[in-house]
């Protein structure tokens, strides 16, 4: 049986291919790093296409995903289902990190 992660991965790849992502490359990192199993790399030909590709992947994969990770370089956003959040328990894993009240973050 295919896992939820396998289905989400396949959905992301199919979505990018169908939306004409440029130079779609998939790197199999299993056994190379514990960071992730796969890198899916592509590019768009304009800022608009890049945003459209990302939006479409988010929209289609969220139907399969318990955990959506958005990596912006200087910060990462984790959006979980309640069950996945309890299972992975990142707050406990990173328990030494100081907590910041969202109200203390200044407006841009």
Convert the pLDDT of each residue in 20-53 to its tens digit: 999 999 999 999 988 889 999 999 999 999 999 9
Q: Is the pLDDT of residue 68 over 90?
A: no
pTM: 0.73
Place of tokens 């992947």: 57
In whole angstroms, how large is the CA radius of gyration of the chain? 16
Query: What is the overall mean pLDDT for the chain?
Result: 89
Please report the beta strands in 2-107, taking only residues with DSSP state E, as ranges in sequence order.
Answer: 22-28, 38-43, 67-71, 76-80
Domain range 1-64, its CATH number among 3.40.1190.20, 3.90.550.10, 3.30.460.10, 3.20.20.70 = 3.30.460.10
Distance CA 4, CA 48 (A): 30
pLDDT value at residue 40: 94
Statement: residue 65 has pLDDT above 90 = no
Model confidence pLDDT, tens digit, residues 9-27: 999 999 999 999 999 999 9
Give pLDDT, residue 2: 75
Domain positions in the chain: 1-64, 66-97
């Amino acid at each position: 049986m295919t896992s939820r992660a396998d289905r989400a991965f396949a959905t992301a790849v199919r979505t990018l291919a169908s939306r004409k992502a440029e130079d779609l490359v998939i790197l199999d990192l299993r056994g190379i790093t514990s960071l992730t199993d796969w890198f899916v790399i592509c590019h768009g030909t304009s800022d608009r296409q890049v945003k459209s590709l990302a939006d479409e992947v988010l929209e289609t994969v969220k139907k399969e995903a318990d955990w959506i990770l958005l990596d912006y370089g200087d910060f990462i956003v984790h959006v979980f289902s309640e069950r996945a959040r309890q299972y992975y328990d990142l707050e406990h894993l990173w328990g030494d990190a100081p907590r910041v009240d969202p109200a203390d973050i200044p407006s841009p």
